[in-house]
Amino acid sequence: AASSLEVSTPAVVEVEIGGTARIECRFHIPENDSYTYIDWFYVDRTNSRVRLCHITDREVLKDDTDYKERLSVGEDKALSISKVTMQDVRTFVCQVGAGSSGVGESRTELRVYKVPETPEIEPNPAGISVQSSDIPQIARCVSRNSFPAPNITWHKNGEQLQLQENQVKYTRTRESSGLYTVTSTMFAPVTREDRDSHYHCTVHYWLRGQRHALESRKVKIKVFYPAEHLKLQVMPPSSLVKEGDNVKLVCEADGNPPPVFSFYKRELEDDWQDLSWLTEPDSGVLNLHGVNKSSSGLYRCQTLDLDDMTQLEKEVELVVNYIEGVRVEMDPSSPVQEGDSVTLSCDAHSPVALDYQWRDEKGKKVAEGNQLFLSNLTFETPNNFSCKVVAPSVPGLEQSKEVSVAVHGKPRIVAISSPLYVRQDEVVNLTCKAIAVPRPSLHWNVNGTAHEYIEDQHIASNLTVRVSHDLLKAGAMCRVSNELGVSEKHIQLLDQRTTAESQGVIIVAIIVAILVVAVLGAVIYFLHKKGKIPCGRAGKQDITRPEARKDKIVVEVKSDKLPEEAGLLQGANGEKRPNADQ
């Protein structure tokens, strides 16, 4: 057991600014005596004690100090100070008086803190050149409203930088609120690889004996460096460029900022045409609209770095694919007659391989290859064809050439209205239709009103005429002729009344024939029933009778009936006759 009065308080109490500080005071009095009083003090800047309050078992007396309104004492005699500020950073003393046991006391250091705000980082807005002779400023980091003042470290790509003294500028400012603003500025040389680097700063502060940290956002800096490599390419790729396309020549340099681009096209051996006026502003893109065969050639991109005046250049060959000189030849080339055969040959020139297709006038593909063979030609044979030339390796590159195959020959009459059934004195239309090349003329050998018209490749004529006796007898003749020959056909006219009478005679004759056959069949059946006509399976047999019956009808019957079927032929009395009688 302790033999003297013992008083204890925490050595340090930490509280955030604006919070409430609570300092407990514990004591032990020998032989369980009670305390006489408890006094709380603080130590001012002159190291003098200033009493805050006097506590007895009956009351708490607060002294008239700056803490009077913020001070309170708990049941356990702990001292509480509300709305703590930076001015409260001082030492507090708990003193206990216990009569004969004497007086004891203990001291507590009150510390206040304010967690800093998240640090703000700003990269160098002007950018940094790798060729800078001085150590350039990378970024600036600011930590605001903290207490006490924190420390700041710098990081690159997640790794903390070990900076020399001349690479960091550190300033600390105490604001009117008593809080600190700390600024750290970092200086360091850069390389072209730092264009992809990320920088951030970290604020470190202590709290309750432990170190804490807050990180800023990560930033990149503008790094300026001269171009080392140049790339020039054709878009779309030169192998796919065809006449009429819009082409871009894209020049790219790996410098920052981009250099000044210039474009040239070689016209002669040492003559280069300046095309920079066709480029997009502040870019390395040369636009060529509607290129043609003459656009092919060697192009050059040249760059100029304005910092060190260095130049780079790159060349590329542009090939504009084309098809030209498409022609179709016909063999034989002389006029084609009906029944002839011809061969059409198609040819064209291009720097790439070509395929050939033949299509008819309806656009249907009829053959592949550069030749089309047509045999046994007629007037009706389609005579318009096109040769389509395609470059398979260059999508969309194609051309066509049309050719007409004219088949010549004497006229051929393809349709007439014959025979035509008419009545005398009626008005009828006679039709004649023919085809020929060159176009023929069509004539009738009778007078009438002719209406001539063209239908597809055919010439046709409708002749309106009144049927006379002579016309009905002789008919009409259609004559078609051109410089290669003549064709004619006769139209036969038939009198409908004569035809009707002839048809009536034929019908009567048919009816009479049918009646005769019917009567003959009835007679045979009657005689058979009377037994006058024998039938059997003998196949073929002459039946003779006595002289008195020579005037009777003799019938020869052939039968291939089977024996069991022959029984169907019976005698007059319905009985089966013997085989000898059959």
Q: Which tops the pLDDT comparison, 484 or 549?
A: 484
Q: Which tops the pLDDT comparison, 506 or 305?
A: 305
Q: What is the dihedral of CA 431, 436, 441, 445, to 10 degrees?
A: -50
* Mean pLDDT, residues 546-568 taken together: 36
Q: Is residue 300 within 8 Å of residue 275, measured between CB atoms? A: no
Residue type, 545: R
Residue type, 467: V
DSSP letter assigned to residue 426? -
- Tell me the pLDDT band of 333, cut-offs 50, 70 and 90: confident
| DSSP character string of 89-109 | -EEEEEEEE-GGG-EEEEEEE
Q: Give the pLDDT confidence score for residue 400 in this predicted structure.
A: 93
Helix (H, G, I), strand (E, B) or coil at 474: helix
Give CA–CA dist 143/205, Å, rounded.
11
Lowest mean pLDDT among 116-120, 218-222, 577-581: 577-581
* Mean pLDDT, residues 146-152 taken together: 92
For β-strands 128-129 and 168-174, DSSP reports them as unpaired
pLDDT tens, residue by residue, 19-38 = 999 999 999 988 777 889 99
* Mean pLDDT, residues 219-229 taken together: 92
* Mean pLDDT, residues 283-299 taken together: 91
* Mean pLDDT, residues 325-339 taken together: 87
Question: Same fold for the domain at 117-224 and the one at 231-318?
Answer: yes
Q: Give the pLDDT confidence score for residue 518 in this predicted structure.
A: 84
- Tell me the pLDDT band of 308, cut-offs 50, 70 and 90: confident
Answer yes or no: pTM beyond 0.75: no
- Tell me the pLDDT band of 534, cut-offs 50, 70 and 90: low
Residue 503 has pLDDT above 60, yes or no: no
* Mean pLDDT, residues 530-538 taken together: 55
What is the percentage of the chain residues whose pLDDT exceeds 70? Answer: 89
Give CA–CA dist 516/507, Å, rounded.
15
Q: Does domain 324-405 have CATH number 2.60.40.10?
A: yes
Mean pLDDT over all residues of the chain? 85
- Tokens standing for residue 103: 């007086």
Fold (CATH) for 231-318: Immunoglobulin-like (2.60.40)
DSSP letter assigned to residue 165? G
pLDDT tens, residue by residue, 406-421 = 888 889 999 998 899 9
- Listed by start position, the domains of the chain span 6-113, 117-224, 231-318, 324-405, 409-495
Q: Which tops the pLDDT comparison, 316 or 581?
A: 316
Q: Which tops the pLDDT comparison, 547 or 513?
A: 513
Fold (CATH) for 117-224: Immunoglobulin-like (2.60.40)
- Tokens standing for residue 198: 């990320």
Fold (CATH) for 409-495: Immunoglobulin-like (2.60.40)
Q: Give the pLDDT confidence score for residue 296 in this predicted structure.
A: 92
pLDDT tens, residue by residue, 102-126 = 899 999 999 999 999 999 999 999 9
Q: Give the pLDDT confidence score for residue 143 in this predicted structure.
A: 96
Residue written as token pair 């080339």? 333
Residue 551 has pLDDT above 70, yes or no: no
Q: Give the pLDDT confidence score for residue 504 in this predicted structure.
A: 58
Lowest mean pLDDT among 93-97, 130-134, 464-468: 130-134
- CA of 55: how far to CAs of 4, 43, 61, 291, in Å? 21, 19, 6, 103
Give CA–CA dist 207/382, Å, rounded.
100
Residue 289 has pLDDT above 80, yes or no: yes
Beta bridge partners of 465: 428
Residue 499 has pLDDT above 80, yes or no: no
Q: Give the pLDDT confidence score for residue 327 in this predicted structure.
A: 94
Q: Give the pLDDT confidence score for residue 538 in this predicted structure.
A: 41
Q: Which tops the pLDDT comparison, 575 or 40?
A: 40
CATH pick for 6-113 out of 3.90.1150.10, 3.50.50.100, 2.60.40.10, 1.10.1060.10: 2.60.40.10
* Mean pLDDT, residues 156-172 taken together: 93
* Mean pLDDT, residues 41-48 taken together: 94
Give CA–CA dist 47/65, Å, rounded.
16
Write out the H or E segment, with its range, that includes residue 311: strand 311-318
Write out the H or E segment, with its range, that includes residue 512: helix 496-529
Q: Give the pLDDT confidence score for residue 532 in this predicted structure.
A: 61
- Tell me the pLDDT band of 398, cut-offs 50, 70 and 90: very high
